[in-house]
Amino acid sequence: MSEFLAMGGYGAYVWSAYAVTAVVLAWDASAPLRQRRALRRRQPRRPPPTPNNPTTTP
């Protein structure tokens, strides 16, 4: 098992490359969620639609 992890002497490079890739993918996946949350905090809440005053147009 340790021979596999050492990867013929290149283990530090290989595993650090995997770690950097995992961090970038996690960051890339979470960025839209963080942006959406920040946008929702900045925007004021819309009042709910009422029968006499609909907020959406058909």
- The answer to whether 30 and 21 are in contact (CB under 8 A) is no
Q: Which helix H or strand E contains 32, and what residues bound it? A: helix 11-42
Distance CA(12)–CA(4), nearest Å, equals 12
Is residue 58's pLDDT more than 80? no
pLDDT at 43: 87
pLDDT number for residue 53 = 62
List the structure tokens of 35.
């942006």
| pLDDT tens digits, 3-45 | 888 888 899 999 999 999 999 999 999 999 999 999 999 988 8
User: Confidence band (pLDDT; 50, 70, 90) for 55?
Assistant: low
For 55, other C-beta atoms within 10 Å of its C-beta total 9
Domain boundaries, the chain: 18-43
The CA dihedral of 49, 51, 52, 55, to the nearest 10 degrees, is: 30
